[in-house]
Structure 1
Amino acid sequence: MKILIYGLNFWPELTGIGKYTSEMAEWLAGRGHKVEVITTPPYYPMWKVPQGYTSLFYNKEQWGKVSICRCPLWVPDRPNGFKRVMHLLSFVLSSLPVLVYMAIAGRPDVIWTVEPAFLGVPGTWLAARLSGARCWLHVQDFEIDAAFGLGLLRGRILYKIMSVMERWLMARFDRISSISQAMVGKLKERGIGEGKSAPFSNWVDTALIRPLPREKSLRTEWGIPDDKTVVLYSGNMGKKQGLDLVLQPAGEFRNSHPGVIFLLVGEGAARREIAAEAERMGLDNILFKPLQPAAAMPALLASGDIHLVLQKRGVADLAMPSKLTGILAAGGAAILTADPGTEMYRAVSENNLGYIIEPESAPALAQALAELINNREMRDKFRKNARDYAEQYLDKNKILAAMEDELKAMPKARDHDR
C-alpha cells in the first residue's frame, strides 16, 4: 500500500505523539508499504528546533525506508493559548500545498492524520477528496476539549462553533481510531458509529522495555547512592501534568525521609518555573535531568523505585498516558493521579497496576509515597501486575498488526465515493 502520513510531530522526537507516529511509520515501511510523511522539524517537548534543522524552509529527508518532507513552522518560546493556535496555523498554511500536491501526484491509497493538531484535519479531508484516497483520522487527544479544559481557549459560543466543525469533519473520514475504548465512546457521542471507529492503544516495545536490575540503571552515572529511594517522573513537563504537585511532598520529605530523591527527567513549557521554585524552596532532594534518548529508556525506568504519573483534575486523558505504558512494561510501581471514569482509573484499579490518588492533592501524594516506601510487598505486587498487563495488552507488534489489517480492509481508493 501507499500511505501518506500527515502530522505535526515525528521522528526524532522522543516523547508524545511524534514517538508513536514515527514507530507506526517505521513498522509499516518495514512490512513493505510505501510510507511518506509530511511533518515539521522536531521541536517537542523543548519548544525549540534543535541544531541541524530549520523552521524557516522546506526540507526533504530519508529515514530508513520512510520519506519525510518537513515544512516551515513557527515555534513560540513561551507557548500560551493564542501562540499555540498561531503555532499550529503556521504548520497548516505551510504544509497544505505540499499535502495537496503529494496526494494528487502520488495517489496514495490512504492519507493518515493524527489529532492533535485538529487544524490539519480539514486539509487531510480535502486532499483525500481531490486524490480519491481513503482518509483515516487517529485521535490521540480531543484537542478542542483539552484546550477549553485547560483554559487555553475560552467562551461557550466559541466552544459550540468548534464542536460543530469537529463533528462535521469527523463524519467525512473513512476511518477514525483512538487510543482507548473510552475515547471511542467519545467518538460515538460525536456521531461516529462502530463501523467507522476502532480502538488502537498506545503501545510499548515489550522486548526493549523490560524489568532491569538496579545495577543496569542510570543511578551510578548520575551519582545517586544505592541506598537512596528514587521517586521518578519522566516525560513532558507541561501545564497539563501539574508537576508542581511534587514540590510540597518534596519539602516535607527533605526532613522526614532524607533517604528519598525526587528525580524529574524531561522537558516542557513548565520546567523552568518548577525548577526555579524548587531552587527557591531549597529542595536539594529534587534532581532535574534532560530528556533521555530512546536507547536509554530501559536504564532510565530501572532507576526509579517509585514512578509518578501526574495530571491535573478535569484534563486527565480518557486513555492510558504514554509514560504509563513504559512504566508498566518495565515492571514499575507507580502512583497515579486519575479521576473516576477515565480509562487510566479503570485499567489501573481493575488490574491492580498502581496506587491511585486524587489529582492535585499534595497531601494524598505524600501519603501514597510514605505508604509505598514502607510497603515492599505492595510495590512488588504492582510490579508483577504491571509487566503482565503490558505483555498481554500493550505489545507493539500485536497492536500495529491489527492496525495494518484495518488499513488493508478499507475500501479501495478507486471505489471511493468522490
Structure 2
Amino acid sequence: MSDGERHRPFEDRRLLVVSTNYAPEVTGIGPYATQLAEHWAQSGARVRALTGMPHYPSWRLDEAYRSVWRTVEVRGGVGVHRRRHYVPSRQSALRRAAFEVSVLATGLLAPPPGRPDAVIAQMPSLAGGVIGARLARRHRVPYIPVVQDLMGAAAAQSGIRGGDRAATLAAAAERYALSGATLVGVIHESFVPRVTALGVDPGRIRTVPNWTHVQGPTADRAATRARLGWDPATSVLLHSGNMGLKQGLEVLVDTARLAPDLRVVLMGDGNQRDALRTRAEGLPNVDFLEPAGAGEFTDVLAAADVLAVTQRASVLDMSVPSKLTSYFVSGRPVVASVADEGGTADEVRRSGAGVLVAPEDPAALLEAVRKLAADPVAAGELGAEGPAYVARHLSREAGLARFDDLMTEALDGRGSTGR
C-alpha cells in the first residue's frame, strides 16, 4: 500500500458511526467516538454520526441543547445527527430502560439519510447497538459493534436497583446487536468470553483498546496544587470521572474518614454525586471538584499524589474504565481498588503503573496510599511507567490504526460469515 493510500484508505466511503455519546462530551465514550469519526473524515471518508444530546457524565441535558429536539451539526468534517431522548437524573433499572427505549425510538424513527457503506456502533448504549444492527441489515452493509461495556453484565454486577431483571433483557439486546455482526471489536480481551457466550464466533472478535485521548501534563505541578488549594505537605488521593454505582466511590469517602491527614478529591459528575456528598458531610478532607476542562485536565491529575480507580467487588468482566488511559499519561501512581480477576486489574498490572488492593476495603486502600507517600522515589518510578506504557501501546495513532484495520477488514469482506 502506498503512503497516499495508507493515509486516505477510505476515500469517498460513506461511513456511519452510531454512538449515544459524542462531543462536546469530554469523558467516557464520547471522545473516542468523536476522534474516530473525525479521523475517518480526515482520511477522505464521508462520515456521519448518529448520536444523542450531550448529557454525560452529569446525566443532565447540556444547557445549549435544552430546547433542541433534532439537529444536524458539522464537527471536524463529520455530519452529526442528534436526536432528543430521555435523560434520567437518577439511575435504576427502570429509568435506564426508559433511556434506552427513547434513544432507540428516536434513532430508528429518524436515522440519518442515505445508504452507508458500513456502520460502526459504540456499545453501550444497547440502543446504539440495536440501531446500528438494524441500519446495517436494512442496507446490507458491514456492521461493526465495538463493546466498551457489557450492559447485561453491568446490570447484574453494578448494584443498580432492579438489575437482575434488567440483566436478562439487556443480554437479549446485546445478543441481537452482536450475533449478526461482520466483526466485533472489544476494548479488552477480558470481554471475549462473555461476547462469545452471546453468540459471536471468536474468529470474528478483534481487540481494539481505547487510546489516550488527552495530552500529557504541561503546567508546573506546584503551581497547580497552589491554585487548587492543596497543601504541599498533604497527600492528595484523587478520583476523576463518572460518579456512578459501579464505581463504588463510597470506599474513598470512608478512607478519608480513617485518615484526617489525607485529602481525598472527587473530580467529575454523575448520578451518585449527591449521595456521596451526603456521605461525606462533616469530613473537611473530602473535596468535590467539577470536571476539569480539556486544557487543564491532565495538569490536575499530575498535581495529585495518587490516582484512584475503584469498582464494586461484584464488577468483574463488564467494564474497563476509560479513565485509566488518562491516568497513565499523567505520570502519577495508580491505586486500583478493584476485583483481582477483572479486566481493570489486568490493565493496571500490564501497565506496571499502579498497585492493586481489595475492593470496598478502605483500610487496604489507605495502607497502599500511605506506603506510596512514605517512599516518593518508588511512587515516582511507578508513576513513570504510565507514560511509557501509553507510548508503547495506547497512543492515539496506534488506536486509530487498529480501527483502520478493523474497518478495512470489514469492507473487504474478510470478516463476514455470510451476511
The answer, yes or no, to whether TM exceeds 0.5 is: yes
Contact between 1:8 and 1:40, CA under 8 Å: does it hold in 2? yes
Indicate whether 1:242 and 2:244 are aligned.
Answer: no
1:181–1:65: structure 2 CA closer, same or farther, 3 Å change rule?
same
1:85–1:157: structure 2 CA closer, same or farther, 3 Å change rule?
closer
Consecutive unaligned residues of structure 1, counting only runs of 5 or more, are none
CA distance in 2, matches of 1:201, 1:133: 24
Q: Paired residue for 1:402?
A: 402
Give the letter for the 1:47 counterpart: W
Give the letter for the 2:291 counterpart: L
Q: Paired residue for 1:232?
A: 238
Indicate whether 1:16 and 2:16 are aligned.
Answer: no
Indicate whether 1:357 and 2:357 are aligned.
Answer: yes
3-state SS of 2:296 partner: helix
Stretch moving more, 190-199 or 286-295: 190-199
CA distance in 1, matches of 2:27, 2:316: 18
Of residues 148, 157, 178, the one that matches 2:156 is: 148
Following superposition, the deviation at residue 224 of structure 1 comes to 2.2
Give the letter for the 2:280 counterpart: A
Following superposition, the deviation at residue 23 of structure 1 comes to 1.7
Contact between 1:7 and 1:114, CA under 8 Å: does it hold in 2? yes
1:149–1:319: structure 2 CA closer, same or farther, 3 Å change rule?
closer
Contact between 1:211 and 1:329, CA under 8 Å: does it hold in 2? no
Indicate whether 1:114 and 2:122 are aligned.
Answer: yes
1:93-122 CA distances to partner (integer Å, 9 max, x unpaired)? 1111222xx3xx422111111111113333
Q: Paired residue for 2:141?
A: 133
Superposed, which structure 2 residues align to 1:264-343 within 5 Å? Answer: 264-279=266-281, 282-317=282-317, 320-343=320-343
Following superposition, the deviation at residue 383 of structure 1 comes to 1.2
Q: Paired residue for 1:214?
A: 221
Following superposition, the deviation at residue 388 of structure 1 comes to 1.3
1:240-283 CA distances to partner (integer Å, 9 max, x unpaired)? 111111122212221xx3xx32221100111111112212xx21
3-state SS of 1:106 partner: coil
Following superposition, the deviation at residue 164 of structure 1 comes to 4.8
Superposed, which structure 2 residues align to 1:365-380 within 5 Å? Answer: 365-380=365-380
Contact between 2:217 and 2:330, CA under 8 Å: does it hold in 1? yes
1:157–1:80: structure 2 CA closer, same or farther, 3 Å change rule?
closer
Contact between 1:24 and 1:400, CA under 8 Å: does it hold in 2? yes
Q: Paired residue for 1:190?
A: 198
Contact between 2:218 and 2:299, CA under 8 Å: does it hold in 1? no
CA distance in 2, matches of 1:383, 1:158: 39
CA distance in 2, matches of 1:200, 1:275: 36
Give the letter for the 2:327 counterpart: I
1:150-188 CA distances to partner (integer Å, 9 max, x unpaired)? 243658787556535533442211111010111134323
1:161–1:313: structure 2 CA closer, same or farther, 3 Å change rule?
same
Consecutive unaligned residues of structure 2, counting only runs of 5 or more, are 1-12
Give the letter for the 1:309 counterpart: V
Following superposition, the deviation at residue 209 of structure 1 comes to 2.0
CA distance in 1, matches of 2:67, 2:20: 13
3-state SS of 1:359 partner: coil
Contact between 1:55 and 1:73, CA under 8 Å: does it hold in 2? no
CA distance in 2, matches of 1:388, 1:304: 19
Give the letter for the 1:138 counterpart: V
Stretch moving more, 294-303 or 171-180: 294-303
CA distance in 2, matches of 1:205, 1:162: 29
Count of matched residue positions in the alignment of Structure 1 and Structure 2? 405
Give the letter for the 2:127 counterpart: L
Following superposition, the deviation at residue 75 of structure 1 comes to 1.3
3-state SS of 1:294 partner: coil
3-state SS of 2:119 partner: strand
1:372-418 CA distances to partner (integer Å, 9 max, x unpaired)? 111213202211222211111111111111211221222458x9966
Give the letter for the 2:380 counterpart: D
3-state SS of 1:365 partner: helix
Give the letter for the 2:221 counterpart: R
3-state SS of 1:293 partner: coil
1:327–1:163: structure 2 CA closer, same or farther, 3 Å change rule?
closer
Contact between 1:132 and 1:416, CA under 8 Å: does it hold in 2? no
Indicate whether 1:36 and 2:48 are aligned.
Answer: yes
Q: Once superposed, what is the RMSD of the aligned Cα atoms?
A: 2.3
1:161–1:296: structure 2 CA closer, same or farther, 3 Å change rule?
closer
1:175-228 CA distances to partner (integer Å, 9 max, x unpaired)? 11010111134323333224311011111047x2257641463x2222223333
CA distance in 1, matches of 2:173, 2:327: 37
1:262-306 CA distances to partner (integer Å, 9 max, x unpaired)? 221100111111112212xx2111121101122221211122111
3-state SS of 1:4 partner: strand
CA distance in 1, matches of 2:272, 2:165: 29
Following superposition, the deviation at residue 50 of structure 1 comes to 2.0
CA distance in 1, matches of 2:78, 2:169: 37
CA distance in 1, matches of 2:346, 2:249: 23
Please report the TM-score for the alignment, with normalisation by the length of structure 2.
0.90
Of residues 195, 199, 204, the one that matches 2:207 is: 199
Contact between 1:111 and 1:133, CA under 8 Å: does it hold in 2? yes
Contact between 2:92 and 2:161, CA under 8 Å: does it hold in 1? no
Contact between 1:10 and 1:18, CA under 8 Å: does it hold in 2? yes
1:277–1:122: structure 2 CA closer, same or farther, 3 Å change rule?
closer
Indicate whether 1:72 and 2:72 are aligned.
Answer: no
Following superposition, the deviation at residue 341 of structure 1 comes to 2.2
CA distance in 2, matches of 1:85, 1:158: 8
1:3-28 CA distances to partner (integer Å, 9 max, x unpaired)? 11112111111111112111211222
3-state SS of 2:48 partner: strand
CA distance in 2, matches of 1:51, 1:165: 31
Q: Paired residue for 1:51?
A: 63
3-state SS of 2:367 partner: helix
3-state SS of 1:302 partner: helix
